[in-house]
Structure 1
């Protein structure tokens, strides 16, 4: 058998780890790698228009599949473009393999054309970097990197210098072995018993669940039912728990509801399961806290913990549940369910098609998509106000999934994350929920969906504003700044058609449902250009005095600026008043 070169051995490693897609932009140092893909037959190379979008697509595939995602960029600037999307993967604990080129060894440290010290640049984002200096070292370095991405859910980088890529590997490990299933982690029995004692003593027990509860929903819901404990969850865990799941009351935090907020704030024992929720001011002091997480660094990071258990959620709950005594008092749960139900009714009203004022309320589109999308649809959400509508008007029933920059919070992630999702299964319905600001940062890769005939559905909440930033400014006491937050947008529906897709611009309430029906039926990439108000104000479940003071103070400042001749302030006021009506 003829010896394989470094690139061919890399493809063997990736294939054995379950990868079949690679997103990227090629260039000189990656050309041998592309040539190896051409003759392989196991991989599809998806050429995108920007490497950052390649990294987001790879993140999406890793997050949805539980396997690895793969992206690639060539030397210097091409590799650097990957970094923001890779940081999103890191923050979401998605196993992504980034393949980068590098200049030849003889040119290193000479300030050669496009030379960058990539090892130093990627040091923070990567859990491991395999720098391939020799063909002999390639197989084991590649295997170490890919194994870390697959099991430890880390971002890793494999560097291919141009003078090494086509070298023959003298000895290939013919029998590849990758550990593909992570191990369960079991806490000590005495600590499980301590946690059970605390929960048994509690009069008002609440569960606060994160994305780490994936695969353990049934066990958690069953235990919560037995002790009448409300289940509150993070935004990322919205795809794990639904309001129909018995004691589930929904989210807390800035995007949450009163039921979720008071479940956490008013309990005497809080059981935190698989969450590293960052907003510690939503977690009260003076209560008993049991925290379960598979990562030791998460335990006690956000609040004081009475008992910390290092363990995987499903297995830990399985050991804990038999020690928990049933409770008969359901008053605490009933009170939170009532709050949650009342809030849900309000969210239904906000999304009612009877709200016909123009520009339209964005909730109309979110609720209509939620009502009409497939039960196994995937939602790729950008950050900003569209995340609010996802959290409040949309339900994750059935086998629905969602991906976003939940922790990294980077604008522009919605469209490329959707590309990764639909590439995995073009027959599965994928919706990209974007603000006009976020879509504008990644819109060049709408043509990628056209190129590969992916029937992607994109909703652009078009309010000609960086709406969430505007809202943050006002709550902090800063007057409306049109130069900073206003956006000049094209007709996005026409843009879709120019790219080879299809689209429709929606300005009236009676056009919303027909537009969604047309998008769902389209076999082309489709954009709904949803013209919505910039005056919508997303109220958190609890208003702090500081927030109310900041918002009141900013209206005085805006009034003064208006009197001084700043007409943009009057326009902003009119939009906000109309949105409230």
Structure 2
């Protein structure tokens, strides 16, 4: 047994079943070891390491276990870094295997040599740079332990000459310990916040992903306090739209009831969230924050009372201390407004289905109707996230993944591959924009190779739509040269790669397209030709944003009058999007 084989054996013992990567140089010893029929680990050969890292992060999140990706020597490992940053910020355990040049060549500016330790210092919680066969099992196990305990990214670096050496250090090998410890807050902290809550008239619960294991307690507390629940996008698959007292989201892609629930409360109870947008948090009310990560408390807003503890353990104690509130006017009003908002957003009669290009909302509305109740959805950043957040209901056991903290483009499709690879019979949807899909579409052929029947909705509006919104809010005119995209027929591309797809240019064809995608046993692309001028407004518009938008429209009108065809088309597309909302 050589060092590479020993490392793979250790990974097998912690339940690793696959590695995402592009082989070469220092990794060839690993892929050679995986050739035998008795190997329990599969090599998923992606076309770009970044996609492999995105897929590994999604796998780790859906399985709650260590996932592994790999890149060889300098360039291959560097390609991993953006996907690993996403895993870091989503707090999932991912281990990256890095090949490295032989020890004799280190420090000589050798071909493909890169100082990887410095580069990966920020993204990794631990880096195991293997300097001898003897130390390999010790540092590899340490890396695995840290990744699983801290839900963190770690890296092991294996010089090519060490990978082929005879394995040693077997006396260091031990079972990996998995912690089931729960951080229980002190009675003093719970008594303090209970007094504050009992004296308040209007309490709002703002719940994040840290509530994944305590949804029932959150709902119980909400009912006892007559408190509305606003949630983050990442926790949309925890708190469903039809759960009692849920009033939606705040933030740029939130809704009015979610926004007002947070901003009009006497006491805001933040549970397991590090929501980053401070302009959507109040600065004139009492804020209580409960989080097991102490560094999160007070990180985004002026917190009056912080509680260091697991959300579930904290709420179990708090439920016994708070008094029931009889006044339901605050929550009742917000729930009523939320119901009205949902009805307006999802009423097909508000759309002129003959309008071309198609209103993008119609696709998500139809997917919501036809997708299974245990479907997994991945979403890219940009406008695709807006349509998903506003028109997809998370019912049953539906799950959601995306780049909610790192905010990177091109995560949606490779994340869908990561989920599908470990859930072959589950319905998996990637909701992506044309700009994001264009960055990672080379790995569609990887999905074909491994028979992963992911369903990909590509919003094809031939521009970087969310960047356009950002520009206009800042007062800039639409810049066609920077925002315009030249796209292929994505459905034909799917077929060329050996998958399947359909291009949809008429609204009446949407239901059939969704049905075809669901029935397909191949990777399937819906090329959704949609209106680039569709407007989506935040739940609250500041004077600065209104002024910026007004400046932008004035500039665009003047440029259109001067004869710029791109500006005229942009204004006409926006008019089409606006008319169906009136």
The correspondence of residues 99-498 of structure 1 with structure 2, limited to 5 A, is 99-173=97-171, 176-349=174-347, 355-498=353-496
2:88 corresponds to: 90
CA contact (8 A) 1:534 1:576 kept: yes
Looking at structure 2, the residues matched to 450 and 280 of structure 1 have their Cα atoms a distance apart, in angstroms, of 43
Range 32-41 or range 377-386, more displaced:
32-41
The correspondence of residues 557-572 of structure 1 with structure 2, limited to 5 A, is 557-572=555-570
Question: Secondary structure of the residue that 1:123 maps to in structure 2?
Answer: coil
Any idea what the Cα deviations from partners look like across 1:187-232, whole Å, max 9, x if unmatched?
Answer: 1110111011111111000000001110110111011101100000
Unmatched runs of 5 consecutive residues or more in structure 1: none
Shift in Å, 1:339: 1.4
Looking at structure 2, the residues matched to 379 and 483 of structure 1 have their Cα atoms a distance apart, in angstroms, of 32
Shift in Å, 1:543: 1.1
Shift in Å, 1:371: 1.4
Question: Secondary structure of the residue that 1:76 maps to in structure 2?
Answer: helix
Any idea what the Cα deviations from partners look like across 1:471-495, whole Å, max 9, x if unmatched?
Answer: 1111110000000000000000000
Looking at structure 1, the residues matched to 299 and 219 of structure 2 have their Cα atoms a distance apart, in angstroms, of 25
2:573 corresponds to: 575
Give the TM-score normalised by structure 2. 0.98
CA contact (8 A) 2:241 2:394 kept: no
Question: Secondary structure of the residue that 1:136 maps to in structure 2?
Answer: coil
Shift in Å, 1:354: 5.5
Which of 8, 11, 16 aligns to 1:11? It is 8
* Number of equivalences: 578
Asked if 1:35 corresponds to 2:32, the answer is yes
CA contact (8 A) 2:77 2:99 kept: yes
Looking at structure 1, the residues matched to 168 and 363 of structure 2 have their Cα atoms a distance apart, in angstroms, of 59
CA contact (8 A) 1:192 1:319 kept: yes
The correspondence of residues 549-560 of structure 1 with structure 2, limited to 5 A, is 549-560=547-558
CA contact (8 A) 1:258 1:542 kept: yes
Any idea what the Cα deviations from partners look like across 1:235-290, whole Å, max 9, x if unmatched?
Answer: 00101101211111110111111111010000000100000000011111121111
Give the TM-score normalised by structure 1. 0.98
- Using a 3 Å threshold, how does the CA distance of structure 1 residues 162 and 183 change in structure 2: closer, same or farther? same
Any idea what the Cα deviations from partners look like across 1:314-333, whole Å, max 9, x if unmatched?
Answer: 11111111001111000110
Looking at structure 2, the residues matched to 210 and 317 of structure 1 have their Cα atoms a distance apart, in angstroms, of 14
Which of 41, 44, 52 aligns to 2:42? It is 44
Any idea what the Cα deviations from partners look like across 1:523-542, whole Å, max 9, x if unmatched?
Answer: 11111000000001111111
CA contact (8 A) 1:207 1:271 kept: yes
Asked if 1:21 corresponds to 2:11, the answer is no
Shift in Å, 1:174: 7.7
Looking at structure 1, the residues matched to 145 and 15 of structure 2 have their Cα atoms a distance apart, in angstroms, of 11
Looking at structure 1, the residues matched to 259 and 53 of structure 2 have their Cα atoms a distance apart, in angstroms, of 35
CA contact (8 A) 2:185 2:313 kept: no
CA contact (8 A) 2:137 2:172 kept: no
Looking at structure 1, the residues matched to 169 and 522 of structure 2 have their Cα atoms a distance apart, in angstroms, of 47
Question: Secondary structure of the residue that 1:553 maps to in structure 2?
Answer: helix
Looking at structure 2, the residues matched to 13 and 85 of structure 1 have their Cα atoms a distance apart, in angstroms, of 24
Unmatched runs of 5 consecutive residues or more in structure 2: none
CA contact (8 A) 2:376 2:398 kept: yes
Question: Secondary structure of the residue that 1:471 maps to in structure 2?
Answer: helix
Looking at structure 2, the residues matched to 424 and 164 of structure 1 have their Cα atoms a distance apart, in angstroms, of 31
